[in-house]
Homo-oligomer: A and B are copies of this chain.
Amino acid sequence: MSFVKEVSRWILAGVNSVIQSIENDEIDRIVDVLLEARENKILLLGTGRSGFVGRAFALRLMHLGFNVYVSGETITPALTPEDLVLAISGSGTTTTVVAQAEVSKGVGSKVVAVTSHQDSALAHLADEVIVVKGRTKIDQDFDYDRRQITGEYDNAPLGTMFEISVMVFLDSVIAYLMQKLGETEIDLRKRHANAE
């Protein structure tokens, strides 16, 4: 088999383990929180690849009729205590994400963190945390010497496992929201951009 396909298979197996290890009640709560936010605003926070995964989710929420915004883009409205902030950061320490989540808390908005680290600054200030593992615990210390020798993460470097896991997980949450809201693909397509 081609090396590329072999790596894909290995990544997909890893992603499956990560997603199956998410706590069921954390999944239930994020679905409830999203459904409650349907009449209000949702703001997505995230930088780099976590930000792209967040935007992919935001787009589907929009296709589902949610009133959703992405931090860093032109149109980002004033948050209110009724609004929901969804912050994605594998490490839970990304400077701007933590800073914006803090401001959001100050405004009174509900903050949901999607992170690998339950003990991170982001997780600590969030109202709800979804733990999506992406790396083992040793990652917190990033043991350069050991990695230099083993190369153990070279097939899914940095946040790769976290980011793909979050993308697949959030797309599965979309499928559940569709079912709950009685929305079909046809409904989504009607809200899809037609001048892009």
Q: Which residues of A contact B (CB under 8 A)?
A: 2-5, 7-9, 11-12, 15-16, 19-20, 22, 24, 27-28, 31, 43, 47-49, 52-53, 55-56, 58-60, 62-63, 68-79, 85, 94-96, 99-100, 103-104, 107, 109, 142, 144, 147-148, 151, 153-158, 160, 163-164, 167-169, 171-176, 178-179, 184-186, 188-196
Contacts and interface: CB of A to CB of B under 8 A. Distances in A.
Give the number of copies in the complex: 4
Q: Which of A85, A186, A193 has the most CB of B within 10 A?
A: A193
Given A49-B56, A53-B52, A100-B95, A73 B76 contact: no
Nearest to A183: B154
B175 A155 contact: yes
